[in-house]
Amino acid sequence: MGYKLLDHTADVAIEVWADSLEELFVEAAKAMFSEIVGNLSTVQEKTEVDIQVSGDTLEDLLVGWLSDLLFYFDVAKFIFSKFEVKVSSDMRSMEGKAKGETFDPGRHNLRTHIKAVTYHQMQIKEHNGKWHTQIVFDV
């Protein structure tokens, strides 16, 4: 499981990989919030939110999941560091939990202002028991 930054001309792009589809969604959320605030170990688990997403494709689910998390940051200034995800057996819906706290400029460093999660170049694939995707964030 993990992620790495990719070279991109104007936005932030990451490659994410994991042993399961659920872990891929978790790693993608960790990567996004690592880009927003840097060190996730500074984020305390004071608040929990539940998120449900449905869509026609796995890419719809991932974009919806990350977009909902980003909405909580934009509107309520919540930052998250721990995530749980369950994708339905038909892969058309997912339920997730995110734990974190309100952004505190005294303890958290705002690194990147992510405006949106895009579908650009996104394709979720499973290969040899590993799940992979690439995500481009509009900044």
Task: Give the pLDDT confidence of 9-45 residue by residue, as tens digits.
Answer: 668 899 999 999 999 999 999 999 999 998 899 999 9
At 51-101, the pLDDT tens digits run: 999 999 999 999 999 999 999 999 999 999 999 999 999 999 999 999 999
Confidence of residue 5 (pLDDT cuts 50, 70, 90): low
**C-beta of residue 103 within 8 angstroms of C-beta of residue 73:** yes
**Could you tell me the pTM of the whole model?**
0.94
- Domains, the chain, ordered by start: 2-138 (3.55.10.10)
Cα separations in angstroms, 125 against 58, 61, 128: 9, 14, 10
Spatial distance between the Cα atoms of 132 and 48, rounded to a whole number of angstroms: 27
Contact 55, 91 (CB under 8 A): no
